[in-house]
Structure 1
Amino acid sequence: MWGMIATWTMALDGVTLGAEQLKSNGFAGDAIEAAIKDVEDGEYYKSVGYGGLPNEEMIVELDAAYMDGDTLNFGAIGAVKDFANPISIARSLSANDFNNFLVGAGAEAYASKAGFERKTMLTDRAKIFYKNRVGDDRQKELAPYAGHDTVGMVALDAEGQLVGGTSTSGLFMKKAGRVGDSPIIGSGLYCDRAVGGATATGLGEDLMKGVTSFQIVQMMKAGLSPQEACEKVVFELDADLTARRGKSGDLSVVAMNTAGEWGCASNIVNFSFVVATADASEPTVYLTNRVGDHMEHKVANQEWITAYFAKRQQEVEIRYDK
């Protein structure tokens, strides 16, 4: 028995790579790292790694985290510039007894000393998005997008080991140094081999208000299925934030327990996620929407998947050149 679940359709190729490792009795941590690195290296994904959209100073700052559900060891980095694969740096830090969460210049110094690959992460394509945004907003204060497409994954291997990972370039046009939920253990991800794991994507500032991933794992520990736990945490946090503040940001979560059962919940329309299990012939992309008091998952057809990737690879119109 093995399984893997990930946020967003952009993770499809990565999950396919990870699933091949799990199918061959590979370690969940290796599968997670390989899968997330595939997303980080994809230049057309605007929210993760190479090609990620920059902050308001036109600098790409990256966050990532890795957590081992067996030992509860974790590694995390925040606001890191010009390193190719943040997930690998985060995993390296998880081997330490302390100094597990490094940010900014300190994280970069660690990565450089440890021999991780340096790479200019700002692409010409991302520069066009930036200049277009600045031109569009020239007469008003710049503001980041409401939601965001962090890649988050949970993997269960045949030995019962459970690992989670996240990687993101954060909100487009964010303030320099801003760190969202993705590398925060308990909010962006949480894994416990005795129970299961969860990871989140959306508006980090609101996901952190609910310590979302930890809450889902606790709900599973109390006996809820992954689907029930995801729905309970997302629906209650969405309602609570709306009641207190009049609004809630994007909240989307995926989870998997030690039996390989999985769940997903979201407060946005057509949230997509990818699942691979030993029982399925190949990784499957799902679209999910809230219907009353539950989520309704539907398998995405090939036409939808093809359109998804085509949209991300289409040429970007240059509207402003300064």
Structure 2
Amino acid sequence: MSNETWGAIATWRMAHNGVKKASQILQSKGSAGDAVEELIKMVEAYPYYKSVGYGGLPNENGVVEMDAAFMDGDTLAQGAVAGIHNVFHAVSVARALSHEHYNSFRVGEGATQYAQLNGFEMRNMLTERAKKRWEKRRAEIADAKVKPYDGHDTVGAITLTPTGSMAAATSTSGLFMKRPGRVGDSPLSGSGFYVDSEIGGAAATGLGEDIMKGCLSYEIVRLMGTDRTPQQACDEAVYPFIEKLQRRYGQAGEFSLIAMDHAGHWGVATNVEFTFSVATTHQAPVILMAHPGPNQTTTIEPITQEWLDAYEKRIKAPIE
């Protein structure tokens, strides 16, 4: 379906420069896959983002284990990696795997070996800064001052070309201080991401163990296929499920989801303070803030310069 509209939406403030780059690719008639991969790669490469890629926070043994996924909305082809080590761009490995009919989701040693054998850039992903943060957290846990699991922000993104092609991708280093081998929702189809170019796409960030209980990305796309707007689909999928989880499981972690349909309309739903970045034919790249609103709706507002300044200062603050 061609609608001459392009768009890109991604989770968190950290994706904003990637959204700008994706916008340039989409406006230059680049592919949805190239746009979403380059968007994610910018986040993976930036050492101050502590939940994704280079500089991502490690597991309890001090090892950075990364999860990533890629999906082509035209063909429904998917590739994913989980627990991959020492690869600079996990999302690129996931995209390469999406071209394989068999063996398209690789984990651990198998994923890392695939990356090595196929010429992907290998790098020690544990920066000195992340190592210091890990050492500090290990000492705090030993003193029973903090819970280990704090920080699990996935970058997830959806892109749309003017010719109607769509793609989605995710990348994360997962829960800080997670047990070795733990995998969240990010590389799981239907939970961390899903996209169908005839309808739209969605991606998630938050506590993977709880998000995967609802297959929320697929549910949002399904609802958009029944003529819900992306915002209606996000609200209808996310808020009742959080209530159900609290009622039946006893608790619900952090949930934030983004969506975009094949016409470039977008939506978000969240149960925390959640920033995201979006750009379309009709909207210059912008960072917005979402909060849970009244009656299972979402409140969205622009962020302030004060918020932005405080964010930059916080992510670059020295590790004491």
- After TM superposition, the score normalised by the length of structure 2 is 0.96
Deviation for aligned residue 1:141 = 10
CA–CA distance in structure 2, aligned partners of residues 25 and 307 of structure 1: 36
Pairing partner for 2:157 from 150, 153, 159: 153
1:279 aligns with 282
Amino acid at match of 1:253: L
TM-superposition CA deviations, 1:51-109 (whole Å, max 9, x none): 00000000000000000010000000000110100000000000111111000000111
2:291 aligns with 289
Deviation for aligned residue 1:129 = 0.8
2:240 aligns with 236
Please tell me the root mean square deviation across aligned C-alpha atoms, in Å: 1.3
1:165 aligns with 169
Residue pair 2:137, 2:148 contacting (<8 A) in 1 also = no
1:106 aligns with 110
2:312 is equivalent to residue 313 of structure 1: no
Residue pair 2:140, 2:146 contacting (<8 A) in 1 also = no
CA–CA distance in structure 2, aligned partners of residues 115 and 106 of structure 1: 15
Distance change in 2, residues 1:66/1:229 (3 Å): same
Residue pair 1:147, 1:203 contacting (<8 A) in 2 also = no
Deviation for aligned residue 1:44 = 0.3
CA–CA distance in structure 1, aligned partners of residues 67 and 127 of structure 2: 18
Residue pair 1:143, 1:173 contacting (<8 A) in 2 also = no
TM-superposition CA deviations, 1:120-143 (whole Å, max 9, x none): 000110111111111111144985
Deviation for aligned residue 1:148 = 1.8
Report the number of matched residues.
315
1:320 aligns with none
2:45 aligns with 41
SS of 2:243 mapped into structure 1: helix
2:23 aligns with 19
Structure 1: which 5+ runs fail to align?
318-322
1:7 aligns with 11
TM-superposition CA deviations, 1:142-173 (whole Å, max 9, x none): 85425521000000011110000000000000
CA–CA distance in structure 1, aligned partners of residues 218 and 310 of structure 2: 34
CA–CA distance in structure 2, aligned partners of residues 146 and 201 of structure 1: 14
Pairing partner for 1:298 from 292, 296, 301: 301
Amino acid at match of 2:125: M
Amino acid at match of 2:265: E
Taking every aligned residue pair, what percent have the same amino acid on both sides?
47
CA–CA distance in structure 1, aligned partners of residues 309 and 244 of structure 2: 37
2:21 is equivalent to residue 30 of structure 1: no
Moved more, 2-11 or 135-144: 135-144
Structure 2: which 5+ runs fail to align?
none
Residue pair 2:14, 2:43 contacting (<8 A) in 1 also = yes
SS of 1:216 mapped into structure 2: helix
TM-superposition CA deviations, 1:211-240 (whole Å, max 9, x none): 010000001011111001111111011101
